[in-house]
Amino acid sequence: MLALTIIALTQQAIADHHIAKNSSFESQSGGQPDNYVLTGAARFGFAGYKDEFSTPGILLDSSAPSGEFSQTVPVSQGQGRWIKLRIRGKAEDGFLLRGDELYLAMDFYGSNGTKYEDRVKRLIYREIARDRKDFAANGDNHKNGAAVWRSYELEELLPFATTDAVKFSVGFAGGAGTNKPFSRFMVNDFEVVQESRSAEGKQDPSERIHPADVSATSTDGMIPLGGRWYYMPEAGEEVRATTVKPLIVTEKNSGQLFYKDDKLENPFEGNMTAWLRKGFLDEEGNLVTQDRFVPDNVTVEFDGSAYLTIHARNIPNHPTAQFPDTYGTQGYNPSYIQEHDYAWKLPLVPKLKQHPVRVDTQNTGMALPMGAIGVAINGVVFYNPFDAGMQDASGIMDRCCGHPSPDNRYHYHKYPICVNTPFLDKGDAHSPIIGFAWDGLPIYGPYESDGVLAKDSTDHPLNAFNAHYDPERGWHYHVTPGKFPYVIGGYFGQEVKEGR
């Protein structure tokens, strides 16, 4: 492999096309969130419970017939014709509807937002129903595993050249919930992005396919970084191979870093920033007294060697339970969530072990060490299936499937559904990558194909390591919700030990 170090001689800032206002509901006047209109059973409040680190949001209560909240945003065709509404939402177990009418919608207007032109709507209640079926055993004591924060989105092409405003809505109808307050659908993030290219690989009929479209498989125009990794330089960005300086990928250029399996995707895009929350500990061990944005929670480095390096502060980019746990809901966990500073090396081209050792229910022979065994794409580490005393740890987790260890390191022992923020896994195809084990093999989400969990696949079964092979992805792992060993069953490849 040609040793590559990429120098960006003219690094251009990627335009910020996030156009919703008050997307995290932090700003409010008169007890209501600024820039939003609430109707029916939609109310503003804390999107979570007293034992959680969460934020303000909108609560849609299905014990009432209907409810909706919306924001109208001016748009300009010059910023791109593709527009996406993405929310982070959590459906409590008691959120029930008589039909499927939990929706994301866009209403398009022209003439300075006064003339109605068209509408698109996407129903998402069936995704919640599927989660409740597939992930019930992924929860605390193998129950209620679907009541977690997930991303839902609607992407559409602006329909007309005259469209100059879009009303974005989230709502429901046919409420059938009876178990208040657990009959709510909570939303604590409302993001609108306008781009010149579809993030889902959709095609504008008026344009030809761009070779770097995320749905394409062509790597034309991209810089090979080793293994399955490629980099697409921006216009005016000169890239060349050298040994002087590594390529550093941050959130700013994460959309230019591609991983190729059956398609090209950006696994780190949207997952590289986080908030250090009040009540966490900072890197020096000081108690955080005010929320602080961390733009470099994850960065990825390519230095021309046979490895990539993931730098991670290990701060979860989703709501968590409150730790230390003073309420007893997390087993009275006395540890904090703390900021760290890690550098994890992964081989660009993983090599299989000649004699891999699988983990058993007692971890005989320590097939997987205690502590970190891999890292998720949001920089939070995976642990093996065990807690102290070789107890199954999968039932002692918060609603996002994590908790801190005695060294104040937040981690996952099982499928962290909340990592599905901001990318989607609707269960209608092979799951995307959610992280990597220390042997460099990718860890994919739970689905093998449309509606088929990898743990249940008979056509393409997993081995004892939670791994299998296909021509598009090579050897790779799948998480197995509710089924031991949950993440990986031992290192099927040769793990890297330096650089931790």
For every residue of 138-176, DSSP letters joined together read GSGGG--TT-S-EEEEEEEE---TT--EEEEEEEEESB-
Across the range 43-70, mean pLDDT stands at 95
pLDDT band at 249 (very low <50, low <70, confident <90, very high): very high
The residues with which 468 forms a beta bridge, in sequence order, are: 476
Mean pLDDT, the chain, integer: 88
| Lowest-confidence pick of 132-141, 409-418, 439-448 | 132-141
Measured between alpha carbons, how far is 26 from 422 in angstroms, rounded to an integer?
Answer: 19
Is the separation of the CB atoms in 226 and 348 below 8 Å?
yes
Tell me the per-residue pLDDT of 24-39, one tens digit each, with 9 for 90 and over: 999 999 889 999 999 9
The pLDDT assigned to 213 comes to 47
Vertex 494, ends 491 and 500: CA angle to 5°? 90
Q: Which residues contact 39 (CB under 8 A, 6 or more apart)?
A: 67, 68, 69, 171
The pLDDT assigned to 135 comes to 93
The pLDDT assigned to 206 comes to 57
Across the range 421-450, mean pLDDT stands at 91
Lookup: tokens for 464: 């004892």
Across the range 485-500, mean pLDDT stands at 83
Query: Is it the case that residue 120 has pLDDT exceeding 90?
Result: yes
DSSP string, 362-396: T-TT-SS-SSEEEEETTSPEEE-SEEGGGEE-TTS
Tell me the per-residue pLDDT of 192-221, one tens digit each, with 9 for 90 and over: 999 887 776 666 665 544 444 444 567 888
Pairing of strands 274-276, 292-294: antiparallel
pLDDT band at 261 (very low <50, low <70, confident <90, very high): very high
- Return the SS3 of 244: coil
pLDDT band at 270 (very low <50, low <70, confident <90, very high): confident
Is the separation of the CB atoms in 167 and 39 below 8 Å?
no
Q: Higher model confidence: residue 245 or residue 400?
A: 400
Give CB contacts under 8 A, 24+ apart, made by 31-36: 33/58, 35/71, 36/69, 36/70, 36/71, 36/190
Query: Is it the case that residue 45 has pLDDT exceeding 80?
Result: yes
CATH architecture of structural domain 36-195: Sandwich (2.60)
Residue where the block lists tokens 């335009």: 15
The pLDDT assigned to 387 comes to 83
pLDDT band at 14 (very low <50, low <70, confident <90, very high): very low
Q: How many CA atoms, within 13 angstroms, populate the side-chain half-sphere of residue 470?
A: 17
| Domain residue extents for the chain | 1-16+209-500, 36-195
Across the range 411-424, mean pLDDT stands at 85
| Lowest-confidence pick of 207-211, 296-300, 368-372, 378-382 | 207-211
The pLDDT assigned to 9 comes to 30
The pLDDT assigned to 328 comes to 76
CB atoms within 10 A of CB 76: 11
Measured between alpha carbons, how far is 419 from 372 in angstroms, rounded to an integer?
Answer: 17
Residue where the block lists tokens 């329909």: 159
